[in-house]
Amino acid sequence: MALEFCIFRAPGTNCDAETKHALEYFGCRARVVHINKLISGEVKLSSFDGIVIPGGFSYGDHIRSGAILGKMVGERLKDQLKEFSENGKPILGICNGFQVLVEAGLLPAFRGFSDVPEAALGKNLSNRFEDRWIYLRNDNKGKCVFTRGLEILRMPVNHGEGKLILPQGEEEKLYRQLLENDQVVFRYAKADGTLALGEYPANPNGSFRDIAGICDPRGTILGMMPHPEKAFHRITYPDWTRTGLEGVGDGYWIFKNMVDYAMTLI
């Protein structure tokens, strides 16, 4: 039986086609579903094996990135998503999807799903849209189901608001909590795997402690700013003709881990 994944769609979403291709590559069914159909109940999340909230500029990123869609998700779909998560099913938020998960209170989920955001993804320190290829280091010790077996990855970022911000005055306390819970997943790094340590452009947005992705305390919800769906095949890499790289790219492994994990639940 083929797995079926739900890819959220909203006005301004623009990475759903690449995400659909990535999931279908593994023989899964991937259905792009407009947010209105989910809110109305026409489509139920319980019928899916996994969820991806893809990149783009949902609702034009008015107010701030992911805020409108995040509020809609948090108020109208939280019960469904809570049940989905409690059943261990995976949820992946990429770039704008990460912003939506934070705005909806689904990440970092220190004490479970929150009614208010517990963190923020703010404007890049460069004060401009960053569109570049970067390196990531997987610092998760094994909790995150999306990143098992991964070390150093290379993929693109495309965002204007990707700087992870924790509440002022509580940064170090909450950072320690993230570490203790094994919720820190990706950090911006250099090609040799050493951390960017805030250095631009290795850390393209000034994110706190170079954090590029976090998971929930269960490890089944992952939010990340870089785009694995845009690094799924080596031919999408900017230097593929010079390096002669062929086959799958680093983003492939994130989707493969997601699919492999979802298979264990059926």
The pLDDT, as a whole number, for residue 125 is 97
Domain boundaries, the chain: 4-263
pLDDT band at 244 (very low <50, low <70, confident <90, very high): confident
Give the Cα separation of 113 and 107 in Å (integer).
Answer: 7
State the average pLDDT over residues 155-180. 97
Of the candidates 248, 215, 246, the one whose C-alpha atom is nearest the C-alpha of residue 21 is: 248
Selecting from 3.40.50.360, 3.30.1180.20, 3.40.50.880, 3.40.50.1820, what CATH number does the domain 4-263 have? 3.40.50.880
Which of the 8 DSSP states describes residue 110? Answer: B
Residue 181 pLDDT > 80: yes
Rounded to the nearest 5°, which phi and psi values hold at 221?
Answer: -120, 120
Q: Give Cα separations from 38 to 96, 124, 220 (angstroms).
A: 18, 32, 21
pLDDT band at 172 (very low <50, low <70, confident <90, very high): very high
The pLDDT, as a whole number, for residue 124 is 98
199 is catalytic: no
Catalytic residue among 161, 215, 229, 233: 229
pLDDT band at 111 (very low <50, low <70, confident <90, very high): confident
211-223 residue pLDDT tens: 999 999 999 999 9
The pLDDT, as a whole number, for residue 177 is 97
Residue 245 pLDDT > 90: no
Specify whether the CB–CB gap between 174 and 110 falls below 8 A.
Answer: yes
Catalytic residue among 15, 95, 144, 215: 95
What is the b/e burial string over 49-85, where b = at least 16 CB atoms within 10 angstroms of the residue's CB?
Answer: bbbbbbbbbbbebeeebbbbbbbbbbebbbebbeebb
Radius of gyration of the chain (CA): 17
229 is catalytic: yes
| pTM beyond 0.95, yes or no | yes
Write the single-letter amino acid at 219: G
Residue 261 pLDDT > 80: yes
Q: What is the mean pLDDT of the chain?
A: 96
Specify whether the CB–CB gap between 226 and 156 falls below 8 A.
Answer: yes
Specify whether the CB–CB gap between 254 and 228 falls below 8 A.
Answer: yes
State the average pLDDT over residues 19-35. 98
State the average pLDDT over residues 199-208. 98
**Cβ neighbours, 10 Å, residue 150:** 18
* Alpha helices (runs of H) in 105-247, residue ranges in sequence order: 171-180, 240-243
The pLDDT, as a whole number, for residue 23 is 98
Catalytic residue among 28, 161, 227, 233: 227
pLDDT band at 243 (very low <50, low <70, confident <90, very high): confident
Helix (H) or strand (E) segment spanning residue 20: helix 16-24
Residue 246 pLDDT > 90: no
62 is catalytic: no
Which of the 8 DSSP states describes residue 59? Answer: G
Whose tokens are 């004490």? That residue is 111
Do the strands 120-122 and 163-165 form a parallel or antiparallel pair, or are they unpaired? antiparallel
State the average pLDDT over residues 87-110. 97
